[in-house]
């Protein structure tokens, strides 16, 4: 029964987080409830209940009527933190939460819920890029997420033998940055849409490997890929159907030299499809949002072998994203 009750109440925990972030609570700490309510133009009693709820969830500490951030909220919930997840939290509140209300319809029809939730012109990427502010908010949220996962992906395999990594759909460049910071002989290219490149340049300039990082504008489906002996796709393949994945993998394979490789960063399902729970929930999220889904290591291996890759290895990283390295080998006649 406890499991069922926990699941029934799970959305309440999310909404406490969402509301506190929307109101700017964590940026305003430390504070007492009456003063914070006045500053944020909120009801004093209601604000105290929200703050106490945040404290009960481990997001705030309360002492003699005053509140302060915990280490977790200071790192991930302050807008000024380099690891802030606020952009992804706002996106989850504004877009994902209402779409998840139509999960049963998505299961019946097998299609995303953008149209049902937001109208016929809506789509995942249209929502991300509807304004420059929305785009930055989302990408910086994903940057905070990437700062936790990309270093582990970059160290999952020894990439020291490669000379140039081109991160396709690299967004803010967190994977290329992490790889170049780990491997001093590696040059990185962050390849993404023109509107994204200013933000990528901004983040790359902050890296200790900035002199080895380049930002190039382009669409990986439509434009020529930048030359590289190592390509990377992080949280890209799970967006698409098998047909579009096959198209992209064929393009990458054709651009690679012999001995070159593709680094894939995705959350891998167990082989029976059950677990890790985060991967199963993300697969349902992809149903809600896109034409894609999460896959197991063997399912990705099948797609990579069909594209021509000969040596394929998957590794668990211990963080939210896992890693696959697929090497191109030309077989002598």
Number of H helices and number of E strands within the chain?
15, 10
- The pTM (predicted TM-score) of the whole model is 0.93
Report the C-alpha gap between 39 and 41 in whole angstroms.
6
In the predicted model, what is the mean pLDDT of residues 144-153? Answer: 91
Catalytic residue among 112, 127, 143, 238: 238
Handedness of CA 179, 181, 183, 188 (dihedral sign): positive
Strands 187-192 and 164-168: parallel
- Chain-centre distance of CA 246, in angstroms? 22
pLDDT at position 127: 65
Strands 261-266 and 230-234: parallel
Per-residue pLDDT band for 244 (boundaries 50, 70, 90) equals very high
Report the C-alpha gap between 112 and 106 in whole angstroms.
6
Instruction: Determine what percent of the chain is predicted with pLDDT higher than 70.
Output: 96
24 φ/ψ sector (left φ>0, alpha ψ -120 to 50, else beta): left
Report the C-alpha gap between 252 and 307 in whole angstroms.
9
Kindly report the number of other CB atoms within 10 A of residue 128's CB atom: 18
**pLDDT reading at 333 higher than 60:** no
Select 144-327's CATH number: 3.30.420.40, 3.40.50.300, 3.40.50.150, 3.40.190.10. 3.40.50.150
Mean pLDDT, the chain, integer: 94
Q: Which residues contact 309 (CB under 8 A, 6 or more apart)?
A: 249, 253, 262, 326, 327, 328
In the predicted model, what is the mean pLDDT of residues 43-64? Answer: 97
Task: Tell me the pLDDT tens digit for each residue of 191-229.
Answer: 999 999 999 999 999 999 999 999 999 999 999 999 999
pLDDT at position 68: 98
Of the listed ranges 66-70, 80-84, 261-265, 314-318, the least confidently predicted one is 80-84
Q: Domain extents for the chain?
A: 2-76, 144-327
pLDDT at position 125: 64
Residue 120 structure tokens? 């016929």
> What does CATH list as the number for 2-76?
1.10.10.10
Active site residue 102: no
Task: Tell me the pLDDT tens digit for each residue of 159-175.
Answer: 999 999 999 999 999 99
**pLDDT reading at 331 higher than 60:** no
Task: Tell me the pLDDT tens digit for each residue of 6-39.
Answer: 999 999 999 999 999 999 999 999 999 999 999 9
């Amino acid at each position: 029964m406890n499991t069922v009750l926990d699941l029934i109440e799970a959305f309440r925990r999310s909404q406490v987080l969402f509301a506190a972030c929307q109101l700017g609570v964590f940026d305003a700490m430390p504070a007492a409830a009456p003063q914070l309510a006045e500053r944020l133009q909120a009801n004093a009693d209601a604000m105290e209940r929200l703050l106490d709820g945040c404290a009960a969830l481990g997001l705030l500490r309360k002492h003699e009527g005053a509140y302060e951030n915990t280490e977790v909220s200071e790192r991930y919930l302050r807008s000024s933190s380099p690891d802030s997840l606020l952009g992804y939290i706002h996106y989850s509140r504004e877009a994902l939460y209402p779409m998840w209300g139509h999960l049963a319809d998505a299961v019946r029809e097998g299609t995303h819920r953008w149209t049902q939730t937001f109208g016929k012109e809506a789509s995942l990427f249209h929502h991300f890029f509807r304004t420059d502010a929305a785009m930055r908010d989302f990408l910086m949220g994903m940057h905070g997420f990437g700062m936790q996962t990309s270093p582990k992906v970059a160290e999952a395999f020894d990439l020291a033998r490669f000379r140039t990594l081109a991160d396709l759909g690299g967004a803010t460049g967190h994977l290329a940055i992490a790889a170049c910071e780990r491997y001093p002989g590696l040059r990185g290219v962050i390849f993404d849409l023109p509107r994204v490149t200013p933000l990528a340049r901004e983040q790359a300039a902050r890296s200790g490997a900035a002199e080895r990082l380049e930002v190039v504008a382009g669409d990986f489906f439509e434009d020529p890929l930048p030359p590289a002996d190592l390509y990377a796709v992080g949280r890209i393949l799970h967006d698409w159907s098998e047909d579009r994945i096959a198209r992209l993998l064929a393009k990458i394979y054709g651009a690679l030299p012999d001995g070159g490789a593709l680094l894939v960063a995705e959350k891998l399902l167990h082989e029976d499809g059950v677990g890790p729970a985060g991967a199963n929930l993300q697969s349902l999220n992809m149903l809600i949002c896109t034409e894609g889904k999460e896959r197991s290591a063997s399912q990705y291996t099948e797609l990579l072998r069909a594209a021509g890759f000969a040596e394929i290895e998957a590794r668990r990283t211990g963080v939210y994203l896992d890693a696959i390295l697929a090497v191109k080998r030309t077989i002598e006649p």
